[in-house]
């Protein structure tokens, strides 16, 4: 939708918003026992709470994704550097989560609003029931005049269960809630172009991902790359994403008033429903299948189901009902869908016609490996 005035038409009309706040905004350097370390910036937290309160008075629901637990734990424990050992990081996060939520509670209590803490791991979004429960819990918190504050559960997360940063958590949450916009606040003004100026609008998030530098702060785990990945997840579902500086005064209020701040990422023309978002953009595929040119064309151009006869290769261990990633012969992703077969069965029938299934499987089989009703195509 290149001609759509996103800031004026989409952001000003948003009624449900996810705001992600990075560690560098939530923390500041403090001195403890003569040592420089990182502490929570309660003044900044209070400013955010004030903006959220004003938006709620206008009927806008704001869900916060807040980093900062490990940074908050470091100051309480007198640490001057972020822990690198997994067990140390988990323990520090356990201390910091309480301190972080106390700061948020204090800030919102002044506005007569409660807060609700929701700690999540990556696997919570892989499970369809838990994915729906996240939405139900956050929705109920809003109905109870509580501001939902989400964070990765650093106290239990190990590498294979991590989001890697809270940017992806925010993107997946935006899709789970079917929120109108994701606003990612950081310490930079937005995505910078080759000339060093802030890019006002991005229509091709995938293209921008290939150009961004892999840079991160010393205390956070993210960077512009992770924000672009979160923007991709949101925009491919049909919603808008923004990266802007949290140091700008009243930045969330001004963005939702249509003011030109930061970089806005344009939504895809299609708008996916909740189930499509889970299949196509949320759950991690359990396996991958490669298809020939005929099958790729049938899927992309003709709205057909994936048949076993078009499958040329496959990887992964998966069961019936798991999500498969489908690639063409060049390796480009075509889409993702629910498999009618477990991996062991699919290996027997790959490349075969459906008339052979009964003999190969010892029972009648499904004609489609992935039915078109359970398939979400990737953007061309």
299 within some domain: yes
Is the same domain home to 87 and 166?
A: yes
- DSSP 8-state code for residue 188: S
State the pLDDT confidence band at 80, using cuts at 50, 70 and 90: confident
Is the same domain home to 159 and 197?
A: yes
Segment 58-66 shows an average pLDDT of 97
Residue 158 has a CB neighbour count (10 Å cut-off) of 9
Is the same domain home to 230 and 372?
A: no
* CB-based burial label for 160 (10 Å; 0-12, 13-18, 19+): exposed
Lowest mean pLDDT: which of 25-34, 51-60, 217-226, 363-372?
Answer: 217-226
User: Could you give the angle at the alpha carbon of 98 between the alpha carbons of 93 and 104, nearest 5°?
Assistant: 115
Share of the chain above pLDDT 90, in %: 74
Residue 260 above 50 pLDDT? yes
* 340 and 368 Cβ atoms separated by less than 8 Å: yes
Please measure the distance between the N-terminal and C-terminal CA atoms of the chain and give it in whole angstroms: 14
Tally of residues, the chain: 380
Is the same domain home to 346 and 225?
A: no
The domain boundary, picked from 226, 251, 272, lies at 272
The string of pLDDT tens digits covering residues 146-185 is 999 999 886 665 544 345 568 999 999 999 999 999 999 9
Distance CA 221, CA 12 (A): 31
Is the same domain home to 264 and 307?
A: no
343 within some domain: yes
Distance CA 232, CA 175 (A): 11
Segment 251-275 shows an average pLDDT of 96
Is the same domain home to 262 and 314?
A: no
Residue by residue, DSSP assigns 103-127 as HHHHHHHTTT-EEEEEEE-HHHHHS
The string of pLDDT tens digits covering residues 304-356 is 999 999 999 999 999 999 999 999 999 999 999 999 999 999 999 999 999 99
28 within some domain: yes
Is the same domain home to 31 and 101?
A: yes
- Full domain range(s) for residue 155: 6-272
Count: domains in the chain: 2
Q: Spell out a b/e string for 134-155, using b for 16 or more CB atoms within 10 Å of the CB, else e.
A: beeebeebbeeebbbbbbbbbb
Is the same domain home to 156 and 261?
A: yes
373 within some domain: yes
277 within some domain: no
Best-predicted range by mean pLDDT among 30-44, 73-87, 156-170, 365-379? Answer: 365-379
Is the same domain home to 240 and 363?
A: no
Q: β-strands 35-40, 27-32: how paired?
A: antiparallel
The domain boundary, picked from 239, 272, 305, lies at 272
The domain boundary, picked from 272, 299, 323, lies at 272
61 within some domain: yes
Residue 104 above 90 pLDDT? yes
339 within some domain: yes
State the pLDDT confidence band at 84, using cuts at 50, 70 and 90: confident
User: What residues pair up with 37 in beta bridges, in sequence order?
Assistant: 30
Token pair, residue 85, equals 């050992």
In this predicted model, which residue has the larger pLDDT, 370 or 84? 370
Residues 6+ apart with CB under 8 A from 59: 15
pLDDT of residue 89: 84
212 within some domain: yes
Is the same domain home to 54 and 120?
A: yes
Segment 65-71 shows an average pLDDT of 87
pLDDT of residue 221: 44
pLDDT of residue 16: 98
Residue 9 has a CB neighbour count (10 Å cut-off) of 12
pLDDT of residue 203: 92
CATH number of the CATH domain containing 304: 2.30.130.10
CA 92 from chain center: how many Å?
24
Helix spans in the chain (H): 6-9, 23-26, 42-57, 69-77, 86-109, 122-126, 128-143, 166-177, 205-209, 224-235, 251-255, 274-277, 293-302, 343-349, 357-361
Is the same domain home to 289 and 227?
A: no
Segment 265-277 shows an average pLDDT of 95
pLDDT of residue 220: 41
Residues 6+ apart with CB under 8 A from 100: 26, 40, 66, 68, 69, 72, 151
Token pair, residue 108, equals 């919102």
Is the same domain home to 213 and 293?
A: no
User: pLDDT averaged over the chain?
Assistant: 90
Q: Nearest Cα to 153, choosing from 241, 65, 82, 238?
A: 65
CATH number of the CATH domain containing 179: 3.40.1160.10
């Amino acid at each position: 939708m290149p001609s759509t005035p996103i800031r004026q038409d989409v952001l000003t009309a948003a009624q449900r918003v996810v705001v992600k706040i990075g560690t560098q905004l939530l923390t500041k350097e403090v001195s403890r026992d003569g040592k420089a370390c990182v502490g929570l910036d309660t003044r900044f937290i209070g400013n955010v709470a004030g903006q959220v309160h004003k938006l709620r008075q206008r009927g806008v629901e704001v869900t916060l994704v807040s980093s900062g637990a490990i940074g908050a734990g470091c100051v309480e424990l007198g640490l001057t550097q972020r822990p690198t050992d997994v067990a140390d990081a988990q323990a520090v996060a356990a201390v910091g989560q309480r301190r972080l939520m106390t700061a948020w509670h204090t800030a919102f209590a002044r506005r007569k609003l409660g807060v609700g803490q929701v700690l999540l791991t990556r696997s919570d979004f892989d499970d369809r029931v838990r994915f729906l429960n996240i939405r139900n819990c956050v929705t109920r918190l809003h109905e109870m005049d509580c501001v939902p504050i989400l964070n990765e559960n650093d106290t239990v997360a190990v590498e294979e269960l991590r989001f890697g940063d809270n940017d992806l958590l925010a993107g997946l949450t935006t899709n789970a809630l079917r929120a109108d916009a994701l606003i990612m606040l950081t310490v930079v003004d937005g995505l910078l172009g080759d000339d060093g100026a802030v890019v006002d609008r991005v229509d091709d998030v995938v293209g921008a991902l290939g150009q961004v530098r892999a840079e991160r702060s010393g205390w956070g785990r993210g960077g512009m790359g992770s924000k672009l990945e979160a923007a991709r997840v949101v925009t491919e579902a049909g919603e808008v994403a923004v990266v802007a500086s949290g140091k700008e005064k009243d930045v969330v209020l001004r963005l939702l008033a249509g003011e030109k701040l930061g970089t806005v990422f344009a939504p895809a023309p299609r708008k996916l429903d909740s189930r499509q978002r889970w299949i196509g953009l949320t759950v991690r595929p359990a396996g991958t299948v490669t298809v020939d040119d005929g099958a790729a064309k049938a899927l992309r151009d003709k709205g057909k189901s994936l048949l076993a006869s078009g499958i040329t290769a496959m990887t992964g261990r998966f069961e019936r009902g798991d999500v498969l990633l489908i690639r063409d012969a060049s390796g480009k992703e075509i889409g993702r869908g629910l498999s009618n077969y477990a991996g062991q069965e699919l290996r027997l029938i790959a490349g075969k016609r459906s008339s052979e299934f009964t003999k190969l499987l010892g029972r009648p089989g499904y004609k489609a490996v992935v039915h078109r009703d359970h398939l979400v195509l990737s953007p061309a």
